[in-house]
Structure 1
Amino acid sequence: MENILIEKQENIAIVTINRPEKLNALNKATILELHEGFKTLNEDASIKAIIITGSGEKAFVAGADISEFAHFSEEDGGKLAAKGQELLFDFVENLSTPVIAAVNGFALGGGLELAMACHFRVASDNARMGLPEVTLGVIPGYGGTQRLSQLVGKGRAMEMIMTAGMIDATTAKESGLVNHVVAQADLIEFTKGIASKIVRNSSVAISKAIQAVNANFKDGVNGFEVEIENFGACFGTEHFKEGTTAFLEKRKANFK
Structure 2
Amino acid sequence: MTGVHLSLDGAVAGITLDNPSKLNAFTRPMLRQLDEACATLETSPGVRCVLILAAEARAFCAGADITAWGELSPTDFARLWVRDGHRVFDRLARLPMPTIAVLEAHAFGGGLELAACADMRIMAPRATLTLPEAQVGIVPGWGGCTRLLRLLPEPMVKEMALFGRRIDATRAAAAGFATVSDTPRSTAEEIAATTITASPRAQEIAKYQIHAAVGEDRNAMIEALGGGMAGATGDRDEGVAAFTEKRTAEFRGN
Q: TM-score, normalised by structure 2?
A: 0.83
Shift in Å, 1:134: 0.7
**Matched residues in 1 for 2:39 and 2:228: separation?**
27
Letter of the 2:135 counterpart: T
Query: Per-residue displacement from partner, 1:58-102 (whole Å, max 9, x unpaired)?
Result: 11111101011112232222212111111x210011111221100
Alpha-carbon contact 2:108-2:131 (below 8 Å) kept: yes
Supply the distance in 1 between the matched residues of 2:100 and 2:63 (Cα, whole angstroms).
19
Secondary structure at the counterpart of residue 197 of structure 1: helix
Q: Does the CA-based 8 Å contact 2:211-2:218 persist in structure 1?
A: no
Q: How does 1:92-111 map to 2 (within 5 A)?
A: 92-111=92-111
**Aligned pairs (5 A) from 1:98-177:** 98-177=98-177
| 1:212–1:230 contact (8 Å) kept in structure 2 | no
The AA in structure 2 aligned to 1:83 is D
Residue in structure 1 matched with residue 76 of structure 2 by the alignment: 76
Indicate the residue corresponding to 1:19 in structure 2.
19
Q: Does 1:200 align with 2:201?
A: no
What secondary structure is seen at the aligned counterpart in 2 of 1:210?
Answer: helix
Distance 1:209 1:234, change over 3 A: farther
Please name the residue that 1:245 is paired with: none
SS of 2:7's partner is strand
Distance 1:31 1:220 in 2: 20
Report the Cα offset of residue 222 of structure 1.
7.8
Amino-acid identity (%) = 30
TM-score scaled to structure 1, two decimals?
Answer: 0.82
Larger Rg computed on CA atoms: 2
Distance 1:171 1:30, change over 3 A: same
Q: Give the aligned residue type for 2:91.
A: F
The Cα of 1:22 is off from its aligned counterpart by 1.3
Contact 1:130 1:165 (C-alpha < 8 Å) held by counterparts: yes
CA contact (8 A) 1:128 1:168 kept: yes
Tell whether the 8 Å contact from 1:85 to 1:142 is kept in structure 2 after alignment.
Answer: yes
1:233 aligned onto 2:235: no
For residue 42 of structure 1, report the CA deviation from its aligned partner.
2.7
Structure 1: any 5+ residue segments left out of the alignment?
Answer: 238-256
Contact 1:52/1:99, CA 8 A, preserved across alignment: yes
Q: For 1:173-229, what per-residue CA distance to the aligned partner results, in whole angstroms no more than 9, with x for missing partners? A: 112221x1111xx22111011111211111112111111111123289489x94995
What is the aligned-residue RMSD (CA, Å)?
Answer: 2.6
